[in-house]
Structure 1
Amino acid sequence: MALPWLHDTEQRLAQSFRAQRFHHAQLFCGPIGVGKFALAEQLANSLLCHNMTQHLLATANSTLMPCGYCKSCALTLAGTHPDKRVTQVDGQSIGVDDIRAISDFMHHSAAQNGNKVVIIENCDKMTTAAANALLKTLEEPSNSRFLILTSSQVSQLPATILSRCAKTDVKVTQLDVAKQWLEALAIEDYAWLPLFYSQPLQVQQWQAQNQLQNIDSLYKFATEFKQSHNFTELVTIINKQPELIRIFTLFLSEQLKQQLLQGMSFDAYQAAQQALHDFLQNNTQILGLNLPLAVSRLAYTLRK
């Protein structure tokens, strides 16, 4: 399914390629669920397509798209293209051996006598040694070799990496476009859904994982948190999927903003947001923390 909010970004990339200003290292930055990896895949497949350059030069307003029927595209569709490599986080980080393997891959001749392309997803997960190894590859660009990086936390990347990439902010600029796209997925009109119009693929992923009801439960807990005393279901949901604690704290933060607009003192608002920040930090960084106790303490603090 096409991602309509990326159309303008795709056109800008195509214009850059036509004008021969296309950088060998592309960095796609933006929040989770906005389509950075999908864009990277499309760009990689386009750069490998034998007909892409001819098509771009012939069509002024076209975007970077693979033709879908050349030999290179057939290999891509089969997942066996020898000149394409995708590196993703295995565990907590991307290690130096992963990056050395990329460098080795880039230095060999292209099997299809065309471009070679590497995608590094979540490149901010690189270790310091890995980032230094990548820097050597970035400093010595070769013709017909392309690196496509994606990151949801660009502030975690070294300045030396950032300065050697063409940075593109990937985001939803027209929320109504994302809203219509989500409506086409037949997703129920949840009260919290507008908070994620800027991250539509996150919602699509929850739908695929049958998580929408759990997300809705977290939202309801957030709206009634200060009055509630039974957090068993909340703790069960978060224990099963610890990453959902960020969504729960987002919902709580939104509730606090509403209370501020309704007359809550700014000092009380700041104190509550700090308690929420500490709760999130502790539960994402401290292993074995007693979650039921942490939730009860947070509720007590917010009631005050």
Structure 2
Amino acid sequence: MTYPWLKDIEQQLSTSFAAGRFHHGQLFNGQQGVGKSALVEQLANALLCQQPNGVQPCGQCKSCQLNQAGTHPDKFNVAIEGQSIGVDDIRTVSHFMSHSAAQNGNKVVIIKDCHKMTTAAANALLKTLEEPSPERFLLLTSTATTQLPATILSRCSRTDVQVSDQMSAQQWLASLQIIDYPWLSLFYKQPLLIQAWQEAEQLESVDQLYKFATELKQGHNFSALVDIINKDSELVRVFCLFISEQLKQQLVSGMDFDTYQQSQQALTEFYQNSTQVLGLNLPLAISRLAYSLRK
């Protein structure tokens, strides 16, 4: 599927491919919800397609039919098991790349969230990047390129994927018939994140988080808030974003800057503890945050 805000990037990739300048190692960087995964899947399918139109696969040839069935022998997705991508995963990539293509064309490997590679895995991938074979392509995605070694970054062609045309994202979201929540504009640059919440029936939970964030100083019973976060730990970041936005508004409205900084520090500590401390007493952590903000 082509998203309207990705058309410029698709055009750039089509131009470089037509000119014979398409790099064997492509790194797509961007925050969650901008369409990196869809873009690399489409690009991989176009590279394997027998009659592509730029970076659009034809959808009709044998290769496209194999891709639609998820059984193309020349396409390999590295699946993350656990929190990291290990060296054995990358050795499997090297092994896959070294064999002849079953369809007598390109071979493509997709590594999503490549910043999760261990040091040994990154070193193993570096060898593949340094000694490219013809008709072999590595497509990488990342939300945190600062965690990648400079040696990997220097050997890839990097594309920053983002919603540069916010209006097109808004129009696309409008087509999903999502209620115009007061917090929706905070995620216009991550439209697929909103769509994912809609599909998972989480929009009401996110709206509850927003209400908790606006009333945290007054609240005493945080059980509903704890339940929402326990069901999906990723929502801690969203909750903290809502509180941070509230603090910014209060700063504009006249909050003392030192108080603002102390509040942001308390929020940062809460986020770090919530995401890094195993077995954290979440009700107690939220109560402490509320107390710090009330002060």
Task: Give the TM-score taking structure 1 as reference length.
Answer: 0.96
- Specify the alignment match of 1:59 in structure 2: none
In structure 2, the residue matched to 1:88 is 79
Q: CA deviation at 1:233?
A: 0.6
Please give the alpha-carbon distance, in whole angstroms, between the structure 1 residues aligned to 2:79 and 2:130: 22
Residue from 227, 233, 236 that aligns with 2:218: 227
Structure-2 separation of matches of 1:260 and 1:10: 41
Residue matched to 1:104: 95
Which 4+ runs in 1 deviate beyond 3 A? none
Matched letter for residue 43 of structure 1: L
Kept in 2, the 8 Å contact 1:88–1:122? The answer is no
Q: Which residues of structure 1 form unaligned runs of 5+?
A: 57-63
1:160 matched residue in structure 2 = 151
Number of residue pairs aligned between Structure 1 and Structure 2: 295
Offset at 1:88? Answer: 2.7
- Residue-by-residue CA offset, 1:76-134 (whole Å, 9 max, x unaligned): 11111000001132111111110000000000000000000000000001011100000
What SS does the corresponding residue of 1:178 show, helix, strand or coil? helix
Deviation digits for residues 206-252 of structure 1 (CA, Å, limit 9, x no counterpart): 11101000000000000111111111110111112122111100100
Say whether 1:241 aligns with 2:232: yes
- The Cα of 1:2 is off from its aligned counterpart by 3.0
Instruction: Name 1:214's counterpart in structure 2.
Output: 205
1:67 counterpart SS class: coil
Q: Does residue 78 of the first structure (1) align with residue 69 of the second (2)?
A: yes
Pair 1:11 & 2:2 matched: no
Q: 1:253 aligns with which of 244, 254, 258?
A: 244
Contact 1:99 1:133 in 2 (8 A): yes
Identity %: 67
Q: Is residue 299 from structure 1 mapped to residue 290 from structure 2 by the alignment?
A: yes
Instruction: Give the letter for the 1:276 counterpart.
Output: L
Identify which of 129, 145, 153 aligns with 2:120. 129
Q: How far apart in 2 are the matches of 1:177 and 1:252?
A: 28
Say which SS state the counterpart of residue 234 (structure 2) adopts.
helix
* 8 Å CA contact 1:25, 1:138 repeated in 2: yes
Give the alignment's Cα RMSD to 1 decimal.
Answer: 0.8
TM score, norm. by length of structure 2: 0.99
Q: In 2, are the aligned partners of 1:33 and 1:199 still within 8 Å (CA)? A: yes
Is the partner of 2:178 in helix, strand or coil?
A: coil
